[in-house]
């Protein structure tokens, strides 16, 4: 049991709001008490004391969109983009070659390094996709490597039609042998529904096949222009539609009336010179939003959620509270890991009865991001500074 004390402000991301001069008690990896330091029950006096040094504490970031299984980099493509070239989905094929030839051992080492880098930036929960193998053997390898280290793994065989392949034949492989092999290792299926990748009919085929195989749905949509991704995601009840740079009013209304989270990827938007998502338009319409890093070598070679949150505040006109919520509880909702009501005394558990993510509430995972600052506004006030002091996952320190 641990008693975290000397917390200048505890951002609970719950009805309890921000508690000044707070304390938090952990037992068995979950939170058992939160409140003002002056009210810690005497029963917890014997717990191991962790002095947070008058620092701000918030839930660990929930990074609900990454592509961490890859080898190689595309620095030249990025440099060309900075010189004026457009981003095109075809660059994925470059990473495909490097990923196919890496081997499971190297992919695993790279994944572990990426998880550690995420922890160093305050991230405690990760989703990762496959999607750079693009054949049954390599997609299976990616899924197995990912499943050994990441709880939420997404099958993204439908990331790009590999060079030289016929699109319809490739989709048939994705929804047939590839899905059959990969499904036991993943919980989600995704499709890049975009010009240059997969059209609406192909995307629907992929998502419906995934659902029939027991997987839950996510969609890459509306990244490079208007398109059917958002409407398809809402229609099929996807947990999240990600990118959402180009939205019609009908898209926004559909999202607002749904349980599909709109996941914004600001680091990607800056790296691809796409317009940043109109966060205010979404929030003001009542859409549930998330912020994620989209770590990948093509469009967002960063896992820094701090950077994403900073961008959301400075450039997307989100309040600090909104940005923190989007990067914690919003991400948890996009992964269906948020606390939901259960019968009886169960509190702080997700729909599957696991400790919930993204909120500092009793019963939830004790995933903490301790900032090296007295208040959380330093995330935006001191952009780019090393503001993460410590990261704790399920009550164990994983960074700092
Ligand atoms: O989320 N948009 C599709 N997939 C990735 C980019 C992949 C790549 O270019 O390597 C993304 O941005």
Decide: 229 in ligand 1 pocket, CB within 6 A: no
In contact, 123 and 303? CB cutoff 8 Å:
yes
Quick check: helix, strand or coil at residue 233?
helix
Checking if the pLDDT of 328 tops 80, the result is yes
Decide: 128 in ligand 1 pocket, CB within 6 A: no
Specify the pLDDT at position 89: 74
CA dist 141 and 182 (Å) reads: 9
> If you measure from the C-alpha of residue 295 to the centroid of ligand 1, how many angstroms do you get, rounded to a whole number?
9
Specify the pLDDT at position 346: 78
Q: Is 306 assigned to a binding site?
A: no
Positive or negative: CA dihedral 315, 318, 321, 323: negative
Q: How many CB atoms lie within 10 A of CB 214?
A: 11
Model confidence pLDDT, tens digit, residues 11-21: 999 999 999 99
Model confidence pLDDT, tens digit, residues 24-62: 999 999 999 999 999 999 999 899 999 999 999 999 999
Checking if the pLDDT of 360 tops 80, the result is yes
Specify the pLDDT at position 345: 76
**Options 2.30.30.50, 3.90.870.10, 3.90.1150.10, 3.20.20.140; which CATH number does 62-318 get?**
3.20.20.140
Specify the pLDDT at position 290: 99
Model confidence pLDDT, tens digit, residues 241-251: 999 999 999 99
Model confidence pLDDT, tens digit, residues 62-119: 999 999 999 999 999 999 999 999 888 778 989 999 999 999 999 999 999 999 999 9
Task: Compute the average pLDDT of residues 321-340.
Answer: 98
Decide: 221 in ligand 1 pocket, CB within 6 A: no
Q: Is 119 assigned to a binding site?
A: no
**Options 2.30.40.10, 3.40.47.10, 2.30.30.230, 3.40.50.1110; which CATH number does 2-60+345-399 get?**
2.30.40.10
The protein residue with its alpha carbon nearest to ligand 1, atom 12, reads: 299
Going by C-beta distance under 8 Å and a sequence separation of 6 or more, which residues neighbour residue 4? 23, 24, 25, 26, 50, 52, 57, 368
Q: Write down the residue that tokens 């070659």 correspond to.
A: 97
Q: Which of 87, 220, 222, 240 to mutate to test the pocket of ligand 1 (most atoms within 8 A of CB)?
A: 220
Specify the pLDDT at position 88: 80
Model confidence pLDDT, tens digit, residues 256-268: 999 999 999 999 9
CA dist 101 and 219 (Å) reads: 27
| DSSP-derived pairing of the beta strands 18-27 and 30-36 | antiparallel
The protein residue with its alpha carbon nearest to ligand 1, atom 5, reads: 299
Specify the pLDDT at position 135: 97
Q: φ and ψ at 225, to 5 degrees?
A: 175, 175
Strands of 2-11's sheet, edge to edge? 30-36, 18-27, 2-11, 48-59, 368-371, 388-393, 396-399
Task: Compute the average pLDDT of residues 301-329.
Answer: 98
Q: How far is CA 100 from CA 28, 115, 134, 139, in A?
A: 40, 21, 9, 9
Decide: 222 in ligand 1 pocket, CB within 6 A: no
Decide: 294 in ligand 1 pocket, CB within 6 A: yes
62-318: same fold as 2-60+345-399?
A: no
Decide: 90 in ligand 1 pocket, CB within 6 A: no
Indicate the domain borders of the chain.
2-60+345-399, 62-318
Model confidence pLDDT, tens digit, residues 138-191: 999 999 999 999 999 999 999 999 999 999 999 999 999 999 999 999 999 999
Checking if the pLDDT of 310 tops 80, the result is yes
Model confidence pLDDT, tens digit, residues 211-242: 999 999 999 999 999 999 999 999 999 999 99
Specify the pLDDT at position 91: 85
């Amino acid at each position: 049991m641990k008693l975290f004390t000397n917390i200048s402000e505890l951002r609970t991301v719950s009805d309890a709001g921000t508690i000044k001069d707070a304390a938090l008690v952990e037992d068995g990896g979950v939170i058992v008490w939160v409140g003002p330091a002056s009210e810690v029950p005497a029963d917890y006096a014997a717990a191991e004391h962790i002095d947070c040094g008058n620092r701000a504490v918030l839930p660990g970031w929930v990074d609900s969109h990454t592509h961490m299984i890859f080898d190689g980099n595309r620095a030249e493509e990025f440099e060309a983009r900075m010189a004026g070239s457009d981003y095109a989905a075809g660059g994925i094929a470059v990473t495909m070659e490097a990923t196919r030839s890496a081997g499971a051992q190297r992919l695993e080492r790279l994944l572990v390094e990426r998880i550690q880098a995420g922890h160093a930036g305050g991230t405690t929960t990760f989703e990762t996709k496959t999607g750079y193998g693009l054949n049954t053997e390599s997609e299976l390898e990616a899924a197995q490597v990912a499943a050994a280290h990441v709880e939420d793994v997404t099958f993204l065989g439908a990331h790009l039609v590999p060079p030289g392949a016929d699109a319809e034949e490739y989709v048939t492989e994705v929804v047939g042998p590839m899905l059959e092999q990969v499904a036991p290792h993943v919980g989600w299926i995704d499709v890049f529904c975009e010009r240059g990748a997969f059209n609406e009919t192909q995307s629907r085929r992929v998502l419906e096949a995934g659902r029939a195989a027991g997987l839950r749905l996510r969609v890459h949509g509306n990244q490079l222009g208007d398109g059917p991704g958002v409407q398809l995601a809402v229609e099929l009840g996807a947990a999240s539609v990600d990118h959402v740079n180009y939205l019609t009013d009908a898209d926004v209304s559909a999202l607002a009336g749904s349980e599909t989270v709109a996941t914004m990827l600001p680091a990607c938007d800056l790296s691809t010179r796409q317009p940043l998502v109109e966060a205010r338009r979404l929030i003001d319409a009542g859409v549930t939003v998330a912020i994620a890093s989209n770590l990948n070598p093509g469009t967002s070679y960063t896992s820094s959620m701090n950077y994403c949150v900073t961008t959301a505040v400075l450039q997307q006109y989100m309040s600090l509270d909104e940005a923190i919520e989007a990067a914690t509880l919003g991400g948890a909702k996009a992964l269906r890991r948020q606390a939901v009501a259960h019968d009886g005394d169960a509190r702080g558990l997700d729909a599957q009865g696991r400790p919930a993510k993204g909120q500092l509430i009793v019963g939830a995972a004790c995933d903490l991001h301790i900032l090296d600052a007295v208040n959380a506004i330093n995330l935006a006030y001191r952009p780019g500074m090393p503001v993460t002091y410590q990261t704790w996952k399920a009550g164990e320190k994983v960074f700092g």
